A and B are shown apart, each in its own frame.
Chain A
Amino acid sequence: KAGVTQTPRYLIKTRGQQVTLSCSPISGHRSVSWYQQTPGQGLQFLFEYFSETQRNKGNFPGRFSGRQFSNSRSEMNVSTLELGDSALYLCASSLGLAGDSDTQYFGPGTRLTVL
């Protein structure tokens, strides 16, 4: 079956603008998690959505927000962009169940560059 898809793959914005990234999970997956990956900080958890509700949240400012639709697709929004927001944004989907077998599957990422 199709994997996790993210659009767009590349994005260039200027400081102060806002941006919306999209993630389509694997069919049947109800959990979508977002991560920011930078060379200095590694992989940092932003938030997780499950059945249209934010279930977990990392330690990022309120400029970072997200939502999930009834078809499990998710969007992430970053407002008032800063230079430090330049990163690879990864989306991961999973069944979202509490059992041990649940596993996250990652999309290819969206490379955001803020000028």
Chain B
Amino acid sequence: GDSVTQMEGPVTLSEEAFLTINCTYTATGYPSLFWYVQYPGEGLQLLLKATKADDKGSNKGFEATYRKETTSFHLEKGSVQVSDSAVYFCALRHTGNQFYFGTGTSLTVIP
């Protein structure tokens, strides 16, 4: 069945460091891919998405490219800030509107 695997955390980075959070998926066909972010005490917020191969989603300095050949959707940011500290979830949406989420990666950015 469909599934999402993302790198385990926690990840700790210094401010202005480069961030990569790996995400790979298993699905038949062409799912849509998403990154969500969850700040402490809050629900999930959509960060970015891509709906077809080679699409690049971007928002707030974060980027992710839909790579069908490697079934990946890695999240990157060139220079993280303390305010980026949160839990990041990779997800896919396939037919029938069912979403599958990864287990989440906790990011802490220290000044």
- Contacts from A to B (Cβ < 8 Å): 4, 6, 31, 33, 35, 42-43, 45, 48, 50, 55-56, 90, 92, 94, 96-98, 100-109
Question: Contact between B97 and A94 (Cβ–Cβ < 8 Å)?
Answer: yes
Question: Contact between A98 and B45 (Cβ–Cβ < 8 Å)?
Answer: no
Q: How large is the interface on B (under 10, 10 to 19, 20 to 34, 35 or more residues)?
A: 20 to 34
Question: Contact between B97 and A42 (Cβ–Cβ < 8 Å)?
Answer: no
Question: Contact between A100 and B52 (Cβ–Cβ < 8 Å)?
Answer: yes
CB B66 to nearest CB in A, in angstroms, measures 11
The secondary-structure label for the interface of chain A is strand
Cβ-based interface call for B73 (8 A): no
Question: Contact between A33 and B36 (Cβ–Cβ < 8 Å)?
Answer: no
CB A37 to nearest CB in B, in angstroms, measures 9
- Can you name 14 A-B pairs with beta carbons within 8 Å? A31-B97, A33-B97, A33-B99, A42-B102, A43-B103, A48-B98, A55-B96, A94-B97, A98-B95, A101-B51, A103-B34, A104-B93, A106-B43, A106-B44
CB A92 to nearest CB in B, in angstroms, measures 8
Q: Mark B17-34, 1 if CB is under 8 A from A, else 0.
A: 000000000000000101
Contacts of B45 in A (CB 8 A): 106
Cβ-based interface call for B46 (8 A): yes
